[in-house]
Structure 1
Amino acid sequence: MTVAIPTLETDRLILRAPTLADFEALCAFFASDRAEFVGGQMGAEQVWRQLGLEIGHWQLRGYGRWTVEEKQSGQAAGIIGLWFPHGWPEPEIGWDLFEGFSGKGYATEAARAARNYAYDVLSWTTAISLIDTNNHGSRALAQRLGARQDGYFKHERFGEVQIWRHPSPNGLNDGGMEAYA
């Protein structure tokens, strides 16, 4: 089975398939403190496996996380999208922004696009985000997206994390995705 990974566009971003060209940006992310809440720092060999995991998730589930590219610069700004590996309680919307791209609203913009895709194209009726209790930035983002805390989940590697439930498709105020390519 080969899955064609769709490209999504927002006003300022392109959400595209992860590729080998993203490897160096991922290495920089996973070498930094920004990786604290997503398994911690890792070397290039582990990042290679992580990139394969991101691409493979699309093949196994038919959806996954996109590389977020800033339109203005063409630089990879993060990896954001839909995630449901074995052991997760429900399908998730997850986000990781790379150094230099936070504080611009990119995570909110890309996560909304991913959620709209999940609801409009994949017909999801709900979605969660799993967030470490100490990850204040991700909790604030979940709140900006209209998500509410909905209990806890004991992850086998990360320990207890909060479940943040996103509004249902009928409960959204931000409309649908403006473009699927």
Structure 2
Amino acid sequence: MTSATPHIPTLTTDRLVLRAPAPRDVPAFAAFYRSEASRFVGGPMTEAETWRYLCQVLGHWTMRGYGRWIVTTRDDDIAIGLVGLHNPLDWPEAEVGWYIWSDNGKGYATEAGRAARAYAYETLGWTTLVSMIATGNDASVRVATALGATRQDDYHHPVYGAMGVYRHPGPQEIAT
């Protein structure tokens, strides 16, 4: 480990593990990004582009001190998604984001999103979060709604296009 290697904590939920991305995750990550399902999150991409993107995910931890985790089930260590905190320079503010590419429809995105949001509020001391959701990504809107987020605004990203800004309840609203 070098001084530039970030400490990435592992989070666990009832069914999931959120852990640091690793080289063994590239095949599952690349398979998702080759598919049309990735269209709402910058895809499709080649395997080489996906590798670079996963390196950016790790770099975000170094540059910001927080980031996104690979999601696995507690039963095995196979990557099924990417969930966490994201705030690149061209984003209006910090967000909690998710995508699950395997075992969809089981509530994993909501469960992992809740864990990432709790980390932001309880560990990092944040008081607000949004989710940036591409127009037409109805599944992600359902996750945001399940987490108590409400549509607040519209945003146009120069690369990703039209997005809805969904505001999450703050830690005070969640605690009550």
Greater relative contact order (CA < 8 Å, ≥ 6 in sequence): 1
CA distance in 2, matches of 1:61, 1:148: 26
For normalisation by structure 2, the TM-score amounts to 0.95
* Partner of residue 170, structure 2: 168
> What percentage of residue pairs aligned between the two structures are identical?
47
CA distance in 1, matches of 2:45, 2:6: 28
* Partner of residue 123, structure 1: 125
Question: Structure 2: which amino acid aligns with 1:19?
Answer: A
CA distance in 2, matches of 1:154, 1:105: 28
CA distance in 2, matches of 1:108, 1:83: 16
CA distance in 2, matches of 1:5, 1:102: 25
Alignment gaps of 5+ in structure 1: 176-181
CA distance in 2, matches of 1:158, 1:41: 12
Alignment gaps of 5+ in structure 2: none
* Partner of residue 178, structure 1: none
CA distance in 1, matches of 2:21, 2:77: 14
* Partner of residue 79, structure 1: 82
* Partner of residue 146, structure 2: 144
For normalisation by structure 1, the TM-score amounts to 0.92
Quote the offset at 1:33 in angstroms: 1.6
1:44 has 2:47 as partner: yes
CA distance in 2, matches of 1:54, 1:9: 20
Question: Structure 2: which amino acid aligns with 1:77?
Answer: I
* Partner of residue 15, structure 1: 18
CA distance in 2, matches of 1:117, 1:35: 26
CA distance in 2, matches of 1:136, 1:155: 18
* Partner of residue 73, structure 2: 70
Quote the offset at 1:74 in angstroms: 2.7
Q: Pick from 51, 58, 61 the counterpart of residue 61 of structure 2.
A: 58
Superposed structure 1 runs of 4+ greater than 4 Å apart: none
Question: Structure 1: which amino acid aligns with 2:160?
Answer: F
CA distance in 2, matches of 1:73, 1:104: 16
CA distance in 2, matches of 1:172, 1:102: 26
* Partner of residue 137, structure 2: 135
Question: Structure 2: which amino acid aligns with 1:94?
Answer: G
Q: Secondary structure at the match of 1:14?
A: strand
Quote the offset at 1:154 in angstroms: 1.3
Q: Pick from 12, 27, 33 the counterpart of residue 30 of structure 1.
A: 33
Quote the offset at 1:133 in angstroms: 2.0
